[in-house]
């Protein structure tokens, strides 16, 4: 378990990384964009944030390993021995960063036995930070003010004539969502679909601003871990179907050779029968 001092340190590191990102975002005419092996973009802001987080996190909690999107990624044989480690995405939403729409985040998660038990998600442009620790709740920090956050109940929203709020990616998997949206339209009086970038989508569900985020396109473990900890601490879930599509289970980490996530769903209200609603 972590203490308040550790959380405060992680928040400060994420904010420092965010400041380094903003320095490039606001001042650099040339972001020095490169292409990685998977053809995804890499900027000097990604690397600057990685350096701050990697250096700052490594000494914490007795010196845990740090697995970063922008760092050296060890073999599964090596990392499968890790029971506890930091999992980070120094700049989640690099394409949003390049487009300068503000919807990018700094993500840091603490993984224990395959579960995200602590998460910090910082939104540099907004100066907003979300945190979640298993068993200790989720919070939103804005202008040095801390506010407890919780997911919302869909029934309550319906009683107030509010639609089911569904978040989708700006760039990935939109066409694949059409059958699901059609099924949901048959179960709810109205649906409101909104687009957002990066792990900001999960944080919006954690604070009760949306109800469901289906992700049917590829992501990696560092994309989801920090925000999953926030969502779960706020009362929601981040889940994937088993192979037979009969059961939903929480996303887990470091249990397979690939770092790719399966398709997953994020929802806020645990009372709704999501398994039946989401089943293909």
Of the listed ranges 26-30, 44-48, 95-99, 119-123, the least confidently predicted one is 26-30
Q: Of 277, 264, 267, 210, which is closest to residue 236 (Cα–Cα)?
A: 267
Where in the chain are the domains? 4-149, 154-278
Mean confidence (pLDDT) of the chain = 91
State the residue for tokens 């949003």.
96
pLDDT tens sequence across 162-186: 789 999 876 655 677 888 988 888 8
Q: What pTM does this model have?
A: 0.93
Which CATH number describes the domain made up of 154-278?
3.40.190.80
Q: How far is CA 138 from CA 84, 119, 123, 134, in A?
A: 21, 9, 16, 9
Q: Cα separation of 129 and 123, whole Å?
A: 6
Tokens linked to 274: 């999501």
**For position 159, what pLDDT does the model report?**
55
Tokens linked to 210: 């949306």
Which CATH number describes the domain made up of 4-149?
3.30.540.10
Q: Of 198, 148, 190, 146, which is closest to residue 166 (Cα–Cα)?
A: 190
**Is the separation of the CB atoms in 231 and 237 below 8 Å?**
yes
Of the listed ranges 50-59, 92-101, 108-117, 158-167, the least confidently predicted one is 158-167
């Amino acid at each position: 378990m972590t203490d308040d001092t550790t959380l405060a340190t992680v928040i400060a590191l994420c904010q420092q990384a965010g400041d380094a990102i903003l320095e490039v975002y606001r001042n650099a005419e040339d972001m020095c964009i490169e292409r990685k092996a998977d053809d995804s973009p890499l900027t000097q802001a990604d690397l600057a944030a990685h350096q701050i987080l990697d250096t700052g996190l490594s000494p914490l909690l007795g010196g845990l390993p740090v697995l970063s999107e922008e760092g050296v990624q060890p073999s599964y044989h090596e990392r499968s021995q890790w029971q506890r480690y930091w999992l980070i995405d120094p700049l989640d939403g690099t394409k949003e960063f390049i487009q300068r729409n503000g919807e990018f985040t700094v993500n840091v998660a603490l993984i224990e036995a395959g579960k995200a038990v602590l998460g910090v998600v910082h939104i540099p442009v907004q100066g907003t930070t979300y945190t979640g620790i298993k068993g200790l709740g989720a919070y939103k920090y804005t202008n040095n003010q801390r506010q407890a956050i919780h997911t919302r109940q869909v029934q309550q929203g319906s009683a107030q004539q509010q639609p089911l709020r569904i978040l989708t990616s700006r760039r990935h998997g939109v066409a694949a969502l059409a059958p699901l949206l059609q099924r949901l339209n048959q179960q709810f009086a109205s649906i409101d679909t909104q687009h957002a970038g990066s792990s900001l989508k999960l944080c919006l569900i954690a604070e009760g601003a949306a109800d469901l985020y289906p992700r049917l396109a590829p992501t990696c473990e560092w994309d989801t871990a920090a925000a999953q900890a926030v969502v779960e601490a706020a009362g929601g879930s981040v889940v994937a179907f088993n192979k037979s599509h009969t059961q939903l289970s929480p996303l887990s980490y470091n249990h397979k050779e690939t770092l790719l996530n399966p398709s997953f769903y994020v929802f806020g209200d645990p009372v709704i029968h999501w398994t039946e609603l989401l089943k293909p």
